[in-house]
A and B are shown apart, each in its own frame.
Chain A
Amino acid sequence: MISQVASVLDQVPWWLIVLVKSVVVLFVILTVFAYSMLFERKIMAWMQLRPGPNRVGPWGMMQPAADAAKMLLKEDLTPSTADPLIYKLAPFISLVCAMGAFAVIPFSESSAGLWGVGDVNAGILVIFAITSIGVYGISLAGWSSGSKFPLLGTVRSTAQMISYELAMTMSVIGVLILAGTTSLAGIVHAQARLWYVVPQIFGFAIYIVTAVAETNRAPFDLVEAESELVGGFHTEYSGLRFGLFFIAEYLNMITVACIATLLFFGGWEAPFGLTVVPGLVWFVLKAALFIFMYIWLRTTLPRLRYDRLMNFGWKFLLPAATLNLMVTAAIVAFMPQ
């Protein structure tokens, strides 16, 4: 039976398999996005002593559908001062880059291979490369809006993303040195005995802080600081185009949670030898924990002042990440295995 299925699969062209996988992953990811949004609204409401959305469906479970319908029906405005082509293109750059990262993320593994669209031997680099391009979406959106608040948001965004990306990459290199590979599956396999959160606790702490800044989430959400910049880079956007930015922001959050799971928490490896539960469930649980932490962070901490954000990034996180990298490298180089 299995050999028959395998022989049929051999005759299917490779691009068709990739296409089907991509469609499935995109569908799953967008569903996860919709419900992580509801999850955030619920958790945030509970932490603020509110019940949260509960009118649409039982426990507000249909709220994402209602939101989507609202977004679709809203008028799509373009300011007269905007650069029409770039203004319309920017949300798609954001979204495509956010979605692109999921092409190389492995979600689990079975005897047949990895559960993911592609298995790239430099997966972590591909993810960083793709998500870095996502900054263009935000930058171009603010610049092409032809309005002052989006422009200010963009200036902040570009500076913030560039300065925190350095520390973020630095904090991850420690893991790469320990694992000796840039393949995400390889890094997970290398954690079979010990999760890298233990030897790389400082790297992990720096990664978490920079990841929040990279995804423009509170308390580092100066890019869209409502009290100062109205809506930041997406002030002028309405309807579906605003929705695309919104999806991109959440997808980035999920990507960052997935990377943290893969690099520091052993991906789909079961803890305490609980291999009864499938790897995918562990992966989802670990990633969900990170998303919960994001929400918890947002409800708890107030927004940082911009100069303090930059000081923190350049004068604390970057040196700390560099030090962590040097110490890790020295230990790996001089300690006998």
Chain B
Amino acid sequence: MYPFARAISALAKGFATTLQFAFQKKPTIQYPTVKKQHAPRFHGLHELRRYDDGKERCIGCELCSIACPANAITVIGAENAPDDRRSPGERFAGRYEIDELRCIFCGLCEEACPTDAIVLTPRFEMADYRRGSFIYSKDRLLVPPEAGRGTSPDERPGGIPADLGAVIEQKSTVSIADGYGATHRGEILKTERKGLAG
């Protein structure tokens, strides 16, 4: 009789466990309507910065392209015209393209850049329907003049925050319907960065 009783108690224990789970709080984050905070220095989509006077920082030196371990960056420099100076130096980036599908988001381009022009932002939602649309050129990389100059990672909070791994959930302004395209500049969820999250 003993093994039978033990089997019954084991069954009861199993059933109690699953029933108890049914009433527990679910860890699911309802992405994309609710989003989780990530690190302030998270390596995401690139950005080409400007100086305060609106001139492009990039001088078309191609050092980022050389530093890139994934060969994702193509830079073709061009001479600045005397009457239309795009950057303070002699040259500027005539073409600047990053294949975000090749990119491994290591940040070596950022480190190689002598003018702090290319930086990695914490934006990461780049989903699209065609491979071709992952080749980001200057029209999507360069900070538009009205959006300021762009933030360098060095200016973002560093170190390890005290609440490392804390989950900070907040309602997104992006609905599911327009979730696609949410990475485009200006529609990005503007959040106060509070710290790292798991």
Contacts and interface: CB of A to CB of B under 8 A. Distances in A.
A300 B26 contact: no
A51 B30 CA distance: 9
A78 interface: no
Q: How large is the interface on B (under 10, 10 to 19, 20 to 34, 35 or more residues)?
A: 10 to 19
A296 interface: yes
A8 to B, nearest CB: 50
Contacts of B28: 49-51
A299 B26 contact: no
A332 interface: no
A299 B18 contact: yes
A314 B29 CA distance: 48
A49 B18 contact: no
B26 A47 contact: no
A49 B26 contact: yes
B191 interface: no
Contact of A300 (B15, B24, B176): B15
Interface string A31-67: 0000000000001001111110011000000000000
A296 B26 contact: no
A16 interface: no
B14 A301 contact: yes
Nearest to A302: B14
B129 interface: no
A251 to B, nearest CB: 25
A86 B106 CA distance: 59
Contact of B26 (A43, A46, A301): A46
Contacts of B26: 46, 49-51
B176 to A, nearest CB: 8
A301 B13 CA distance: 11
B2 interface: no
B1 interface: no
Interface string A16-39: 000000000000000000000000
A59 to B, nearest CB: 13
Interface string B86-129: 00000000000000000000000000000000000000000000
B5 interface: no
Interface of A: 43, 46-51, 54-55, 296, 299-301
Interface of B: 11, 14-15, 17-19, 21-24, 26-28, 30, 176
Across the A-B interface, give the 3 residue pairs with the lowest CB-CB distance, nearest first: A46-B22, A47-B18, A300-B18
27 contacts: A43-B22, A46-B21, A46-B23, A46-B26, A47-B18, A47-B19, A47-B21, A48-B21, A49-B21, A49-B24, A49-B26, A49-B27, A49-B28, A50-B26, A51-B26, A51-B28, A51-B30, A54-B30, A55-B176, A296-B15, A296-B18, A296-B19, A299-B18, A300-B14, A300-B15, A301-B11, A301-B14
